[in-house]
Structures are given as C-alpha cells and as structure tokens.
Structure 1
Amino acid sequence: MLQTNSTDSADLAPPGATPTTDTLARRIADFGTLAEALDYAALGRKGMNFHDARGTLVRAYPYSELREDSLANARRFVSLGIKPGDRIALIAETGAEFAAAFFGAVYAGAWPVPLPLPTSFGGRGAYVEQLKIQLKSCDPTLFLAPGDLAEMATEAAGGVPVRDWATLPDVEADGSDLPVSDPDSIAYLQYSSGSTRFPHGVAITHRGLLDNLRAHGVGLNLDGADRCISWLPWYHDMGLVGCLLSPLALQVSVDYLKTEDFARRPLAWLDMITRNPGNSVSYSPSFGYDICSRRMSSQTRAEDRFDLSRWRIAGNGADMIRPDVMQAFVDAFASAGFNATAFCPSYGLAEATLAVSLMPPGEGIRLELVEEAELSGGECGTGEERPRRYRAVVNCGKPVTGMEVEVRGADGAPVSDRSIGRIFVRGKAVMVGYFRDQESTDACLSPDGWLDTGDMGYLSRGYIFIVGRAKDMIIINGRNYWPQDIEWAVEQLPGFKSGDIAAFAITGPSGEETPAVLVHCRVSDPQERGRLRDDIRERVHAITGISAIIELVPPRTLPRTSSGKLSRTKARSLYLSGEIQPYDIAA
C-alpha cells in the first residue's frame, strides 16, 4: 500500500525539525523486520526531533542518521561478543542515544530490553531493586545506561557488564557482515508497567510487531500532513510501540518531550501541538489530559496561548478512560480550537504488542450507561431496595486489522452482545509468550493462540467496552465491586484528583473480605482529618452501598507503576506490611 506525500514540506514542519512530508512514498509497515522498516524510512528526510522542557527543539535526528548510528552500534555490539538472541538491557531515556542503541541491537540480531527510568515514588533503593529483578528475568549480556544513572545501573547489574552508552563510540566496530533476522525471530522484550516483583518479559516477534504497526496506520487513516507529538516513556508499550516504532514504520516525523519534563511543565505538550503547522497525532492516558486541565489558570484564557484546532488524533489509552476527565479537557480547551471528535479511545496491552482496538477517527468519545448490577454480574433490579445506579463506560473502538476479540463467560464460552465477561484476543500481534516463564505463558495463552487479557468488558455492535481488571475486583458477600467505582466516588469530593485514592479488598479476622480505601490527605488539623474520613466513608456508602475501612495517608504515598498508573496491588501489599502508615485519627 503506497501513498505519495505531495504537500509542501516547508509549510508543515516546525523550524529546524525534520519535515512532516517528503517525496518518499509511504508504506504502511509492510516490512518483514523492524530493520527493514528503518532501512526504508532512512531513504526519506523524516525523523525524530528532541525538545527541552520548554518545548524548544534541541536536536533533529533524521531516520537516515539513526540508521547510520544504529549500524555502527550493531558492529560495536558484535565486537563486544553479542550474538543473535542475546539480550541487551537499556535504560529507556528519551533521546538519540537510546534509539541508536535499541536499533543497533536489532541490527545485531540481539533483543533490546527497555527498562524504566527512576520514578518519584520509592527512591533510589526501590529503583535499584526493580532493576535487579528485571535484569535477573531477562538475563542480559550487556546493560546500557545514561551516565547519570550508571552508578545505580552498576549496583543493580550483579555482574552484568554495564556501559554508559555515550562510550559506545569508543568500541572498535567489527567489520564482518551483520546477521539477517527472520520475521519470526524475537524483535524485543517488553516489560509491562506492573512488572516489578514478578516481572513478565513479553516476547514479540518482528512479524507480530509489524502486523500491529500496520494496524495502527490503517486504523488511524494516516494523512500526508500528520505528525506525531509525544511525551510518553519509551519503556512503556504505548510510548515504545505507539510513539517510537510505529511512526518509524509508517514514515512519520515525531517531536519528543521527555516524560520528566512533561511532569514538570505539562502545558509544554500543548505548546508543541500548537506550534505544529500540520495535523497532530498525540496520545496520552487520562491522567495526562487531567493534569493539563488542572494546570490551566482561571486567569488565563486557553485561546490566548494555544491553537489546538489541527489536533487530528487525540489518543486515549493505557488506563481506564475517564469520561469526566475528557469532558474537563474539552471545557478547558474548546476555546483554543480543540474538537472533542479528535478524541480516539483505544484498548491494548503489551501482550498483544500494543493495539487491540481503536475508535475510528472522528467518532470521539462515546459512552454507554451500564447498571451496576450488570457490572457486578447480577441481574438488574433483583432484590434492590435502593435506586439503580449506573456507570458511564467508554467505547474503546473496533478491533484493529488482524485482531480477533471474544468475550467469554465463567464457563469459557463466548457470551452474547452486551454481556459482560472476560476479554480474549487472537492475532499475529499476540506475544509468543513470556520469556523463560512457561507456567505464566500457559496460564494466559492457549495452544490455539487465544490470549486471556485479564480484562473484563463487553462487545456492542462490533465495538469494545472495558469495565475493569478481573484481578482488581472486590467481592463482598458474594457481590462484585469495581475499585474504580469506589475511587471515583471519593474523587467527587472537593480537593481530590485521580491517583489520590486506592481501593482494594483485605481479609478480616474471620476470613471475610472487607474493602479498604487509602486516600491522600493534605489536611493537617486532626479534627479536620476526622471529619474528612467520615465524609469519605459516607460518600462511599452512598454511592456503592458498602461500608469500607477509610485510611488517610500522607501525600505521594500511593505507589504507581513505571508508566504512572496507580498500582492497587502494590498499595495493598505496602499497607498490609506496614510500609504505608496511615495518619492516627481518634474514633
């Protein structure tokens, strides 16, 4: 499938950046391997562009230059004794050095393994421990890190050779021919954002990756004026696959803002979209949209700073999509030209490479109201004394090209339309398995290729609706409750935002399950804390009908995954172990 870009590139690129368009005919990821995709992209003038915290261009990095650097790195890896199938672990810092090391590993036939940067939660010790566990899992031959993290990398490595990737040019390159990868060989290992104590290295083949990247291009109806803008981390599947590998395989130029810079100055993301004279394609989890809405000053008019009228695809994914957050974003930025139809909800997971479903461009956010009894597996209205309550569930689009989706009941059989069950997917893009973990692979991947995603949802007229994670469900007296419903109830109280609340079940003295809710508290007065706890308890009971244990905890206490999502599992573990200490409030 070819598409010729005829628009004048001089009119559609930020000053000094690689062009949005050129004369190279677009190929929609129809390559055998990732190396072939870079070989082709390098024939054009497009590429990667790295920006500082204020969104100012620091370096333009054409795909042709990336290929040249990557081939040189591949020969250096061979000189260091790297063989096809060896793993090369890399700290995934957004920048040219990581990209050239990642693709250098690909050209050498090795498997690059992106590992996370430090997060604000847990400090140095927790980060080093996470690296130790993931390194033990992937068993790399070489570990590459930026210079400022080399000390922590060495501490975590446990004997694995560590090299600052800035010193790679010091290695004499091997002059022999590089190996040629087979489409069915492994392209890379991806650790999901929750991979901490029990890491699962997702093994993705070149064939599976390119199949999913092609689905991106088809599903997004790529336009000749499209340009990607991203702050997403490269150690997460949406950042790595969706905003690094996909643009390259589809020959799209990209503007990057480092994730840590976005965290400090989130509106710089919107500034970059404003400065893009072409059409913007940019993705974020709900919390990215949320923080931008909250950062808008009531004294500043969005239209005075931003022009978001050319934002064609405003992707949503990587977490439960929050309709209230999306509406708040529209309210904050409609005056700056943002069109709500640009929202593109999606659903995916690392075990399926990335994308399972995409909303067709232009359809925006669509909701269905689902009665809570249906969500919890009961029958609507049966034995109910209180009014029915509903949750708005976001339409996550249609299965992408090449992906089959089934919703199955407790007996394993497919259920009818609009019946909630467990979501299974099958396609070329589904992983071949977890690296060196056959037991976990067999637990979720059937011999005929069906992957149990662990997510709950339903199909309606060909569209996919996600209602939650099966493992997060709280079961009280035989009834199911979603932690999101409890958390959202608390968020309706003044002063709270997404990520301030974690709900989960704990086991009581008699073996019964009891819901516990941990809430970030920014109030210092003991009496005010007591009133706040009572207000939260009443709110949870009013919305859900259950009585929960409410614990107020210091701000920034609740743990997050490496991609920024709330980790309920880790919060529960830390609470039960005593590592999360609630405030002492008199009854």
Structure 2
Amino acid sequence: MSRPRTLNWLDAPRDDTGVEMFDEASHTYRPYTELADAAGRIAGGLIARGVPRGAVVPLLCSTGPDLVAAFYGVQAAGCVVSVLAPPTRMSGEAARAHVRAVVTAVDAGAVVADAAHHDYAVDVLAGTGTGTGSGSGARVLLLEELAAAEAGRRDPVEQALVQFTSGSSGRPRGVRVSHAALDANTAAIRAWERAGRDDSWCSWLPMHHDMGLIGCLVVPVSGNNRLAVCRPETFLRHPLVYLTRFDAKRVERPATITATPAFGLKRIVDKVGHADLEGADLSRTRAVIVGAERIDPALVTRFTELMRPHGLDPHTLTPAYGLAESTLAVTGVPVEEEPRSVLVHRDELRVGAQVSLADGRTDRATVQVMSCGRALDGLTVRVVGEDGEPLPEGHVGELAVTGSSLADGYLTDGSAEGTAFAGGRLLTRDVAFELAGEFYVLGRLGDSVKVHARSLFAEDVELMLGRAGLDLSRVCVVLGEADGQPHAVAVLEGLDTRAAKVAEEVLAAACPGTRRHVAQVPRGAIPRTSSGKSRRRRLWQRLSQERALDAVSAAADSPA
C-alpha cells in the first residue's frame, strides 16, 4: 500500500515545533525532529526483536512525548498499535483484567511498556503465563531499550490501530481502524477545524481514548503542529494550569485548538473564577471541541460568560459527535458558527415521532438540546427508524453513518444490542433528530426506557440533576425494565441525604410513570470506563441481579 498520509511527518519533521509535557511545576519539550528519530529507532528495535510485520502491539506508556514516539514507532515498523490505559492510584483488579483482556484479544506477541510501567506490565501478564519472555505469550519490551536501537522501517499493513470502545454501554470492544480510515478522518477533522501550519493544540485527555488519541495526538502530530499535553490528574486538580497554555500574556505560543468532554467545561467553571483569569488574553483560541457526552446548553452559557471577558469568542465553542467505530469524528459545528440549541417538547422524544419546537423557557414539559453540527467531509449521516429506513427531517431515530472514516469492524462479533456494522453502514444506537442539516443527539437507545409511548433518556435526567445542584461526577442515572415495569434509578456516590432528597424530587418531575429509586452508594461504587464515563448497563445489571431495586427507596405515581 502507499504511505499513509498520517505517517508523512516522519519523513519531514519540523524542528521549530514539537510536543510539550507540562504540569503545575514543570514542563519538558521535544521537537518533532527528535520524536521522528526516536520513532525510527523504536521501529528498528521492534524489527530487531523479531516482532513480525502486521502484529498488533499494545502500548503501556505515560501520557507525553515518549508515547507519541512509541505510537508512530510501532506503525513505522509495519505493525498495528493499540494504546492501553496506564494505571492510576485508584486502579484495581479491573484495570489489570482489562490489560490482560486486550493482550489476549489482539493475540499480542509483544507489549511495549515504558520504564514507569514495565514492572506493572510484567506482573499483570504473569497471571496469564505471559510477560516472562520465555517464549509463551506476550513479551514485555522496555521502550527505552527499543529507542536505543538502530533505526529501521517496514512498509505499513492496511490496518493502523485497534482502539477499544469506552464500554459505557457494554463491554469494551476492539475496533479495527485502517490507515485509509485514519487518514480520512484526520483530514476531515483538520478541514472542519480549518487547521493550519501555525495552529497549536493543548490537551488533558487520556491518550488511550479515541478523543485524546485521534483528536489530540494524531491530528496535530500528523500535521507537525505544536502540541502541549498534561495528564488528566493535572487538569482535574488545577484546570487553571491547563488554561494558562491558551493565554497570550503567559506563553509565547498560545494554544489555538483543544477538545474536551462537557465534563471538562464544568470542571473549569466550577474551579476557575474571573479573578483567576484577570489580565488573561484568550483571543488566540479558535476551537474548543466539545463531545463524548450530552452537552447542557446551560453549561455552555456558564462557560462562555466566564471566558468572554477574557477574549474567548462564543463561536470558539464547537459541539461535536463521534465514536470509535468512525475512527473519531462524525459531525461538528463549523468553527466560525456559534453553536445552536432548540427547545422541544419532551413528550415527542420517541423513535419515529416528529419533534416540534416549543416557545418560552425550559420547564418540565420541554427540553433544550444542543446541536452537534453537520456531517464531516466523507461521511453521510441519516436518522433511521426501527425498520432501518431513513426518517423525514425532524423525526427522532437512530443515527446511521456511512463513509470513508468507518472502521473495518470489531475484533470479534459484538452484542446484537450494541453499535453494529451492517450492510455497509454503522448503526450507532445513538438517538437524534435532524433540523436544517444539523443533528441533535439525545442519548443511547440502550440507556433509555419507554413510558406511555415516550422515551426517557438517562442523559436528559442527569442534566436535570446537575441543574438542581448535584455534582454529576458523582451521579449516575440508569433506566430499565424489571418485573414488567419501567424503573428509573439515581445512583449517588458519596452524597448526603440532602442530595438524595433533591434526586427524589427531580426523578418525580422527570420520570413520571416509572418506579423511581435513589441509591446512595460509597465513593468508587459506580463502575466507570477508563475515560471516566459511567457504565450504565453494567450498573443496571448489577442492581437487577442483586435485587438491589428492592432494597432502595422507591416511589411510583398513584393511579389516576
């Protein structure tokens, strides 16, 4: 095959840009010339160690320049890369089991780990008879030793990477992404962002997750654009440290593009005030991509009101929709347009129904939904009904995607209830409606329940809990049917009785016709993906199997 475009930078790396790693007290910087050289030597090290062309090589590395070099080094060796989530202080057996599951799923003969994670990888894989280097299972290769080898290069195979879905609606599944799809989505994202030679990225997103890996590693690095990264823990502790990288008064080359889930915006508005930003100049920022979860228009307003006095144009905020099965991005609001939202009647939010716009302010009978923009170049997006056929504009249905960015499928066949590739298109299981060419995403089919012919979406209920003052990082709403009845459960992680009372009131308003429960659980009890999303389906299954719904407080509407 011809050389993939996303690898072209290895042949012509810039010496005036590179990757910076920063935290509260320090930073390191490596130019692209140095990273390209390191990638070539890592490729040579893999070839010398006998790692065959086309093999899938998992990476277990800290966020930063070394991971960038390793990612491209694996591909330069003609291998397929899969980035593993590095452990944190809170990681337990579930994280170790995930590493073993990935290594087994991709049939890895070798795992590359940096010095900080080498012993951890050996220890984790020892439980499966791997990691010993004895000839059985996967060898754990030390990144620093590979980088000391002579440079090497092999022609790429068609497959570029295996990225694992977040698992928020089920078990994580390995998605096979080709170089062609990676090239197409990268080009589409750069065209949508109007990215140029002088743009600079800043990111706190984990590099094992599709939004961080594709949107904030492959997109800037393949374009030789400057990239500043910090670990997620740094952002969570001190979001102001991250914001400083956009301040033209503080840094010589301020970042112009970033990406974050809506949770990141909330972290900023909760932790940063106008006094913290006094004198800041954020006017160089061109695009703040927001995706990965339902976006609350009220949160967008809070964020823009905080940032506008310091030079950030409201047009900068750019909602988007995507998923790993389409490499990353599917739709996005053009960077030169201010994001739109519409107010619709809540009773009409069911598959097949037509929505109508409501007048006035948001109340219990209406819901405000933020646009996720239009389909990106090379992709076609349709809203389809339960029969899989396209619905007219303004009708609620499932998003179906076709085009050049689609992955080649899963490593193994997935659940029939989940996102699926069928008939040349991707059936996302995400529910949305289209108005004037823009798509408004409501939530997942698997995270909803029908009550009196109306669909309730977990994301919608969570937004209402957030507006009522609850900390959404410690809340999860799950919906489902048990014993022939629809149930709505608000799971509160380490929150007090006052929060429980608020949750009861919100559920009563948002979920009429359901059996309603509020479960107070200790910190850490809500299962989450490696990117921090709540695993709703797993939580619902646990509550159902353990008969926990019988053990928590319940309420139901009285018969009329």
| TM tier, smaller | 0.7 to 0.9
Residue 147 of structure 1 deviates from its aligned partner by: 2.9
**Residues 26-75 of structure 1: CA distance to partner in whole angstroms, max 9, x if unpaired?**
xxxxx841564223441553221221334x432x2222211111111111
How far apart in 1 are the matches of 2:316 and 2:368?
Answer: 20
How far apart in 2 are the matches of 1:416 and 1:320?
Answer: 23
Residue 462 of structure 1, aligned match among 423, 437, 440 = 437
- Equivalent positions of 1:270-349 (< 5 A) are 270-274=243-247, 275-276=250-251, 277-278=253-254, 280-297=256-273, 301-304=275-278, 306-349=280-323
How far apart in 2 are the matches of 1:136 and 1:316?
Answer: 33
1:110 matches 2:83: no
How far apart in 1 are the matches of 2:175 and 2:286?
Answer: 31
How far apart in 2 are the matches of 1:582 and 1:65?
Answer: 60
**Residues 141-168 of structure 1: CA distance to partner in whole angstroms, max 9, x if unpaired?**
1112233333332233221211332332
1:415 matches 2:391: yes
Kindly indicate whether the alpha-carbon contact (under 8 Å) linking 1:552 and 1:583 is maintained by their aligned counterparts in 2: no
Question: 1:569 is paired with a residue of what secondary structure?
Answer: helix
Paired amino acid for 2:246: I
State the partner residue of 2:507.
540
How far apart in 2 are the matches of 1:581 and 1:266?
Answer: 38
Give the direction of change, closer, same or farther, for the CA distance of 1:324–1:582 in structure 2 (3 Å limit): farther
Residue 21 of structure 2, aligned match among 29, 39, 50 = 50
Give the direction of change, closer, same or farther, for the CA distance of 1:543–1:446 in structure 2 (3 Å limit): closer
Kindly indicate whether the alpha-carbon contact (under 8 Å) linking 1:194 and 1:567 is maintained by their aligned counterparts in 2: yes
RMSD: 2.9
Question: 2:473 is paired with a residue of what secondary structure?
Answer: coil
Question: 1:558 is paired with a residue of what secondary structure?
Answer: coil
What is the identity percentage for the equivalent residue pairs of Structure 1 and Structure 2?
26
Which deviates more, 138-147 or 541-550? Answer: 541-550
How far apart in 1 are the matches of 2:170 and 2:365?
Answer: 37
- Equivalent positions of 1:39-438 (< 5 A) are 39-43=10-14, 45-54=16-25, 56-58=26-28, 60-119=29-88, 123-157=91-125, 158=128, 159=130, 160-169=138-147, 172-173=149-150, 178-181=153-156, 185-194=158-167, 198-274=171-247, 275-276=250-251, 277-278=253-254, 280-297=256-273, 301-304=275-278, 306-377=280-351, 389-437=365-413
Give the direction of change, closer, same or farther, for the CA distance of 1:409–1:124 in structure 2 (3 Å limit): same
Paired amino acid for 1:135: V
* Gapped regions of structure 2 (runs ≥ 5): 131-137, 357-362, 556-560
Residue 450 of structure 1, aligned match among 422, 425, 432 = 425
Kindly indicate whether the alpha-carbon contact (under 8 Å) linking 1:225 and 1:278 is maintained by their aligned counterparts in 2: no
Paired amino acid for 2:386: A
Residue 572 of structure 1 deviates from its aligned partner by: 2.3
Question: How many residues are matched?
Answer: 533
Which deviates more, 272-281 or 423-432? Answer: 272-281
How far apart in 2 are the matches of 1:569 and 1:302?
Answer: 40
State the partner residue of 1:569.
537
Kindly indicate whether the alpha-carbon contact (under 8 Å) linking 2:198 and 2:225 is maintained by their aligned counterparts in 1: no
State the partner residue of 2:522.
554
How far apart in 1 are the matches of 2:349 and 2:417?
Answer: 28
Question: 2:117 is paired with a residue of what secondary structure?
Answer: helix
Residue 311 of structure 1 deviates from its aligned partner by: 1.3
**Residues 366-415 of structure 1: CA distance to partner in whole angstroms, max 9, x if unpaired?**
1011211221345779xxxxx97111111111111111111111121101
Kindly indicate whether the alpha-carbon contact (under 8 Å) linking 1:314 and 1:344 is maintained by their aligned counterparts in 2: yes
Paired amino acid for 1:115: L
Question: 1:147 is paired with a residue of what secondary structure?
Answer: coil
Give the direction of change, closer, same or farther, for the CA distance of 1:200–1:491 in structure 2 (3 Å limit): same
Give the direction of change, closer, same or farther, for the CA distance of 1:580–1:98 in structure 2 (3 Å limit): farther
Question: 2:245 is paired with a residue of what secondary structure?
Answer: helix
**Residues 121-160 of structure 1: CA distance to partner in whole angstroms, max 9, x if unpaired?**
5x32221112122222112111122333333322332212
* Gapped regions of structure 1 (runs ≥ 5): 1-30, 382-386, 524-528
Kindly indicate whether the alpha-carbon contact (under 8 Å) linking 1:423 and 1:455 is maintained by their aligned counterparts in 2: yes
Question: 1:360 is paired with a residue of what secondary structure?
Answer: coil
Kindly indicate whether the alpha-carbon contact (under 8 Å) linking 1:147 and 1:166 is maintained by their aligned counterparts in 2: yes
